[in-house]
């Protein structure tokens, strides 16, 4: 039996140009699947509710309940990209935008549980654990502060909804600079949606709409998980080098790097988790890592924007609107909180104080993780239902 030629071995190696090309093709197919999945949720949800989506979501019309839903859903799934893509699909199917906005804010909080869990790998190493836990939770404190500032403002003035509505109408509804040219997306995804509609109808004709929603949610999970996994192989090594190169050059560079890397790996959890071990080992200080995590907040919005392109018809503007809300909310948060020094210091001080307590007794870390992401939201749900 003859041995493989060196050229063949190289073409089959993990880092070969052919293999990398095939991985990028796979990413493109998975993005197509993600967009089609959002279309399935919108179609199925619209058919299932028959125009009564507002009544269906009455339990979430309280902004604080909608916020809790976003926190718990993202904490359990550990992917804000998945949750926000599902929300885009639901808005396309009739979920009111003002109900979806607090859910988007909650998703920002829920996604931070991942890097907090990653920091627990240092739990036996004293100072390293303190540094890693502070680097992880500074993201939590920032997102909590952003909600504390912007949710009341949104309830009182609706500025995010109004501004994003104007932008979405300008992009989709206007004759100039319109994305109507992207209408090729609808015919591209329609065959796949029709196929799953037929499968759903075959399984159960009365429940076909609900089954189609379940298919869409499952495919969003699958596509985002696989996209993240493939992009990690393609980009994380480069992302780590970029992080080392840029993170110490100043806050603007750090924010930009966090944004770019998150767009590349399609996962803010991956981006923020990259820096936790670097913080634990003392390579970077908390103040250097802080702006990098804020860039991750901005970069993760690309998934919802991408998902919104799947929607056409009367709800296309609404789907794009909630995706733009996600982008504006994170951008405004960075500008206001990081740009205003007294506010900028609050997440840093909160994270350092909590990390010192956690270093002394690990029960603080466990109580914090369970309390913020699961127990407190659960208590709020019970209290609200009993009122």
Q: How confident is the model at residue 333 (pLDDT cuts 50, 70, 90)?
A: very high
How much of the chain, in percent, has pLDDT values that exceed 70? 77
Query: What is the tens place of the pLDDT at every residue in 174-211?
Result: 443 344 444 455 677 778 888 888 888 888 877 788 78
Q: 199 versus 246: which is more confidently predicted?
A: 199
Q: Do 92 and 40 meet the contact criterion of CB atoms below 8 Å apart?
A: no
Residue 260 and residue 2: Cα distance in Å, rounded?
A: 46
Radius of gyration of the chain (CA): 22
Q: Do 330 and 150 meet the contact criterion of CB atoms below 8 Å apart?
A: no
Residue 347 has pLDDT above 90, yes or no: yes
Q: Do 275 and 247 meet the contact criterion of CB atoms below 8 Å apart?
A: yes
Please give the average per-residue pLDDT across 224-233, as a whole number: 68
Q: Do 134 and 352 meet the contact criterion of CB atoms below 8 Å apart?
A: yes
Kindly report the CA angle at 190 between 181 and 226, in degrees rounded to 5? 95
Question: Could you state, in order of their start, the residue ranges of all structural domains in the chain?
Answer: 20-386
Kindly report the CA angle at 161 between 159 and 166, in degrees rounded to 5? 95
Residue 76 and residue 3: Cα distance in Å, rounded?
A: 49
- State the pLDDT at residue 13: 55
**Residue 179 DSSP class:** S
Q: At what angle do helices 341-360 and 362-370 cross, to 10 degrees?
A: 120
Which three-class secondary structure state does DSSP give residue 266? coil
Lowest mean pLDDT among 28-37, 51-60, 149-158, 346-355: 51-60
Residue 51 has pLDDT above 70, yes or no: no
Measured on CA atoms in the order 220, 226, 230, 233, is the torsion positive or negative? positive
Phi/psi region, residue 2 (left: phi>0; alpha: psi -120 to 50; beta: rest), is beta
Residue 28 and residue 69: Cα distance in Å, rounded?
A: 31
Query: What is the tens place of the pLDDT at every residue in 61-70?
Result: 678 888 888 8
For residue 95, how far is the Cα from the chain centroid?
A: 19
Query: What is the tens place of the pLDDT at every residue in 304-320?
Result: 888 887 777 778 888 89
Give me 196's structure tokens. 């799953």
Query: Residue 118: which of 97, 128, 99, 132 has the closest Cα?
Result: 132
Mean pLDDT of the chain: 79
Q: Do 81 and 266 meet the contact criterion of CB atoms below 8 Å apart?
A: yes
Residue 11 has pLDDT above 90, yes or no: no
Residue 284 and residue 278: Cα distance in Å, rounded?
A: 6
Query: What is the tens place of the pLDDT at every residue in 91-145?
Result: 887 888 988 999 999 988 888 877 787 787 777 777 888 988 998 899 999 999 9
- State the pLDDT at residue 328: 96
């Amino acid at each position: 039996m003859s041995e493989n030629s060196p050229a063949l071995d190289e073409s089959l190696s993990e880092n070969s140009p052919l293999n990398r090309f095939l991985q990028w093709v796979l990413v493109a197919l998975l993005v197509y699947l993600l967009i089609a999945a959002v279309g399935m949720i919108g179609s199925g949800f619209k058919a299932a509710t028959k125009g009564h989506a507002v009544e269906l979501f009455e339990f979430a019309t309280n902004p604080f309940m909608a916020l809790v839903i976003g926190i718990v859903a993202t904490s359990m799934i550990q992917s804000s990209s998945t949750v926000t893509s599902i929300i885009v699909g639901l808005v396309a199917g009739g979920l009111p935008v003002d109900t979806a906005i607090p859910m988007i804010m909650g998703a920002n909080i829920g996604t931070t549980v991942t890097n907090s869990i990653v920091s627990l790998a240092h739990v036996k190493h004293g100072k390293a654990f303190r540094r890693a836990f502070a680097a992880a939770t500074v993201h939590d404190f920032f997102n909590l502060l952003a909600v504390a500032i912007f949710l009341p403002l949104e309830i009182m003035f609706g500025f995010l909804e109004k501004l994003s509505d104007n932008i979405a109408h300008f992009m989709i509804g206007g004759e100039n600079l319109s994305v109507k040219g992207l209408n090729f997306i609808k015919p591209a995804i329609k065959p796949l949606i029709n196929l799953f509609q037929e499968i759903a109808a075959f399984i159960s004709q009365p429940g076909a709409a609900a089954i189609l929603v379940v298919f869409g949610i499952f495919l969003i999970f699958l596509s985002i998980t696989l996209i993240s996994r493939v992009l990690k192989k393609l980009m994380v090594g480069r992302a780590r080098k970029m992080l080392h190169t840029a993170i110490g050059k100043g806050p603007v560079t750090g924010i930009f790097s966090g944004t770019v890397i998150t767009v590349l790996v399609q996962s803010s959890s991956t981006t923020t988790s990259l820096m936790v071990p670097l913080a634990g080992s003392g390579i970077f200080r908390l103040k250097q890592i802080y702006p990098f995590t804020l860039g991750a907040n901005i970069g993760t919005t690309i998934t919802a924007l991408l998902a919104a392109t799947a929607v056409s018809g009367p709800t296309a503007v609404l789907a794009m609107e909630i995706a733009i809300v996600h982008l504006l909310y994170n951008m405004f948060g960075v500008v206001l909180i990081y740009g205003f020094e007294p506010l900028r210091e609050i997440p840093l001080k909160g994270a350092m104080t909590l990390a010192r307590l956690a270093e002394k007794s690990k029960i603080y870390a466990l109580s914090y993780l369970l309390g913020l992401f699961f127990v407190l939201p659960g208590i709020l749900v019970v209290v609200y239902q009993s009122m």
